[in-house]
Amino acid sequence: MADNYLGNKMEEHLARQQAGKAPKASRSLNQLFLENRSQRSYDNRCVVSENQLRRIVEVNTKIPSARNQQVLRFRLVTGQQAEKLSGMIRLGGALPELHLPQPGHAPNAYIVICATVEESHYVDIDLGISAQSMLLKAVDMGLNGICIGAFDKTAVTEALQLPLQPLLLIGIGKGEEQIRLKEVAEGDSLKYYREDGIHYVPKIQTKDLII
Ligand SMILES: Cc1cc2nc3c(=O)[nH]c(=O)nc-3n(C[C@H](O)[C@H](O)[C@H](O)COP(=O)(O)O)c2cc1C
């Protein structure tokens, strides 16, 4: 393997795939990352089931965890309880004039992420890994989602009678927004914005990310 045989084979395969000459089993990882955009408006004709949420939470049985402590726990919320929760969240803090989510277009399902221990550096890292893994799984299943940190913790705890403190909500549904990434240079505004019905998300280029 000294001549990087496997590495070269992989490069060749990727090049063939990019040229459309190799079959794709499913969406590429890159495609999943691109499609995994934070959706703030949902088509509620698509109703997310508790079973779908269960499949999303299942990714947590396969991901890293600090000291493998697996302190995160999840409450699945659908139906009327989800409707209630939609009144306790704030979406699109950078676009307050849009008052998101608009009535009838909030996510119709949520995963509430809690922890069995007090929030800490490692709990928060586990939280991020879990949230992103679940969002990617949702996209893989043809759904969309968004991390929601702006919610009324007391109201959510009471409404769901949670035995643990909620750290983050994941809203799940069928997104209906057109969202595009926009490469920006270091120092440019990172505020997301809308133009002609399209939601643009500025992202820093790789060359500026590397220090
Ligand atoms: C930890 C975390 C909390 C977030 N909380 C909110 C929120 O409360 N409301 C909201 O509209 N978006 C929230 N977002 C979504 C971000 O605004 C979004 O990731 C960012 O605008 C980039 O867009 P993208 O996810 O499509 O790349 C949150 C994202 C993360 C990672």
pLDDT (tens digit per residue) in 84-132: 999 999 999 999 999 999 999 999 999 999 999 999 999 999 999 999 9
Domain enclosing residue 41, as ranges: 32-176
Please choose, from the candidates 85, 86, 109, 101, the residue with its C-alpha nearest in 3D space to the C-alpha of residue 159: 85
> What is the pLDDT confidence band of residue 23, given thresholds at 50, 70 and 90?
low
Same domain, yes or no, for 49 and 146?
A: yes
Calculate how far, in angstroms, residue 4's C-alpha sits from the geometric centre of ligand 1.
40
pTM for this entry: 0.90
As beta bridge partners, residue 104 has none
The confidence score (pLDDT) of residue 16 equals 61
> What is the pLDDT confidence band of residue 47, given thresholds at 50, 70 and 90?
very high
8, pLDDT greater than 50: no
Same domain, yes or no, for 71 and 120?
A: yes
| Residue 150, ligand 1, Cβ within 6 A | yes
| Residue 38, ligand 1, Cβ within 6 A | yes
140, pLDDT greater than 80: yes
Which residues have a Cβ under 8 Å from the Cβ of 196 and sit 6 or more positions away? none
The confidence score (pLDDT) of residue 2 equals 41
Instruction: Give the residue whose CA is nearest to atom 16 of ligand 1.
Output: 38
Same domain, yes or no, for 97 and 128?
A: yes
1, pLDDT greater than 90: no
| Residue 147, ligand 1, Cβ within 6 A | yes
| Residue 192, ligand 1, Cβ within 6 A | yes
Instruction: Give the residue whose CA is nearest to atom 6 of ligand 1.
Output: 148
Same domain, yes or no, for 210 and 135?
A: no
Ligand 1 pocket: which of 32, 38, 183 to mutate (most atoms within 8 A of CB): 38
**Which atom belonging to ligand 1 lies closest to the Cα atom of 150?**
8
Instruction: Give the residue whose CA is nearest to atom 31 of ligand 1.
Output: 147
- Residue-wise pLDDT for 57-74, tens only, equals 999 999 999 999 999 999
Rounded CA separation 161/24 (Å): 45
Encoding tokens for residue 163?
């035995």
Same domain, yes or no, for 145 and 195?
A: no
The confidence score (pLDDT) of residue 19 equals 59
- Residue-wise pLDDT for 151-198, tens only, equals 999 999 999 999 999 999 999 999 999 999 999 999 999 999 999 999
10, pLDDT greater than 70: no
φ, ψ of residue 66 in degrees (nearest 5):
-55, 125
Rounded CA separation 66/173 (Å): 29
Encoding tokens for residue 10?
């992989």
Residue 201 counted as domain residue:
yes
What's the CATH number where 38 sits? 3.40.109.10
